[in-house]
Amino acid sequence: MNPEPGGSRLAAPSRPSRLTIAICTRNRAASLRRTLVSLAGLAPPAAPWEVVVVLNDCSDDSAVVVEEFAGSLPLVVGTEPRAGLSPARNRAVELATGELIVWTDDDVLLAPGWLRAYEAAATAHPEASFFGGPITPLFEGTPPPWLLPALPVIGSAYARQLVETDGAPVRPDRLPYGANFAVRAGVQRRHPFDLALGQAPIGWLRGGEETAVLGAILAEGGSGVWVKDAGLDHVIPPERQTLDYLARYYEGFGRLTARPAKTPLARFAVWGDHKVAEWRLRAARASGDPARWLLALQRAAIRRGRLAAIRPPAASRDRRMIPVKLIVAADEPALFFASVQDAERDLEPIDVQDGVYGRAFGPNGEPYAISTDGTRVHIETTGAPPQPEALKALLLHYFDARGETPDPSLELPALLQRCSPSDR
């Protein structure tokens, strides 16, 4: 199947649709199949319904997966060549024919009564412009021991949403997550998704497109309602059950919520706030309490993101001209330095002691050893043969973590040209 830009309907409904389920997907065929299986198991609503799937710049087998469900779901399939969740969501709105657009993701498992619950809520609350449902993270495999005890603190990174009272109003300070909400179609069309927001291959984890829309609806006098029975499970793969993922998620939140710092004093204040948060994180690690030190990690990552957001663009471009001389494996998952001396100055002894930093390489894969005497960090070449393949693997992992997909056939110099000492 090759979906046309106008959208192809794989199953013609007997009546115009009143409910549209909208899913945007990008190169997650296996996860999409699991979600469509869940959709096929829904208790059908009373009103006619459709499932709009937008293939967002997909290069995998997602189109083939969707075609597998042509006989079991009322599918409408469209494409959006611009990589990014916001353009894909806007494409789904163009294709939707329902009076209520019910949004979900390609990595969820839906309760059988999920769609009926939204249908009932839309009827019971004609005054409401939008609706939101609960989300329970479902962790694949065995989560690390620190994760579940700290879930009340870091649940936002996994779109965890508790709904205790059915029909309760949605407040501006607590909006539904993008994996589980519904908007009346007329209201949605007045509020397209901002192309400057939402997940996209831009080098950092960016969201906020749905909260911007819902916040704007509330600001214009609309209202939202929580739907307790419209629950779903959000499947979390092992690669998102890591400290690196949490740091990147909250850094992205920090970038997204950063306020302009127009003066040197304002920028210094942001820098100082970041340094204090990093110090508190190091102190919290010694407590052994996951909830405490993960809260500190969250706050430090947010401030790191805010600091990154206010860096003058010209300075960032200038630093792109500085060659990378040392690459350090870390939680982020790599740090880049213009010299060994810069790394010795910037890395923290306590982090070296805690094993935060792993291997280190020169630009040709020359291995370096990192040590500390408790006061200063020392970095020295080991004299071992270069390990270019190990460095290349680290760089590819780094770009993958940032949402980028460079050609694996690129040589080391080409990969390093994409990095700079500011990529931290």
Three-state SS across the chain? CCCCCCCEECCCCCCCCCEEEEEEECCCHHHHHHHHHHHHCCCCCCCCEEEEEEEECCCCCHHHHHHCCCCCCCEEEEEECCCCHHHHHHHHHHHCCCCEEEEECCCEEECCCHHHHHHHHHHHCCCCCEEECCEEEEECCCCCCCCHHHHHHHHHHHCCECCCCCCCECECCECCCCCEEEEEHHHHHHCCCCCCCCCCCCCCCCCCHHHHHHHHHHHCCCCEEECCCCCEEEEECHHHCCHHHHHHHHHHHHHHHCCCCCCHHHHHHHHHHHHHHHHHHHHHHCCCCHHHHHHHHHHHHHHHHHHHHCCCHHHHHHHCCCCCCEEEECCCCEEEECCHHHHHHHCCHHHHHCCCCCCEECCCCCEEEEEECCCCEEEEECCCCCCHHHHHHHHHHHHHHCCCCCCCCCCHHHHHHCCCCCCC
| CA-to-CA dists, residue 344 to 196, 305, 422, angstroms | 37, 23, 16
By mean pLDDT, which of 113-127, 153-167, 197-211 is the weakest? 197-211
Is residue 78 within 8 A of residue 5, CB to CB? The reply is yes
Mean pLDDT of the chain: 87
Average pLDDT rounded to a whole number, residues 325-335: 81
Average pLDDT rounded to a whole number, residues 160-175: 95
Give the residue from 327, 329, 372, 328 showing the smallest Cα distance to 350.
372
pLDDT of residue 13: 45
Is residue 256 within 8 A of residue 199, CB to CB? The reply is no
Average pLDDT rounded to a whole number, residues 103-110: 97
By mean pLDDT, which of 42-56, 62-76, 348-362 is the weakest? 348-362
Is residue 19 within 8 A of residue 86, CB to CB? The reply is no
Average pLDDT rounded to a whole number, residues 156-181: 95
| 45 vs 4: which has the higher pLDDT | 45
Count other Cβ atoms within 10 Å, centred on residue 383.
8
High-pLDDT (> 70) share of the chain, %:
90
pTM (2 d.p.): 0.73
Q: Tell me the CB-side half-sphere exposure of residue 167, using CA atoms within 13 A.
A: 7
| 230 vs 419: which has the higher pLDDT | 230
pLDDT of residue 405: 65
Residue 150 has pLDDT above 60, yes or no: yes
pLDDT of residue 408: 77
pLDDT of residue 11: 47
Average pLDDT rounded to a whole number, residues 69-93: 94
Residue 3 has pLDDT above 70, yes or no: no
Average pLDDT rounded to a whole number, residues 250-269: 82
Q: Which of 10-14, 99-103, 281-285, 308-312 has the highest mean pLDDT?
A: 99-103
Residue 317 has pLDDT above 70, yes or no: no
| 240 vs 310: which has the higher pLDDT | 240
Average pLDDT rounded to a whole number, residues 330-349: 81
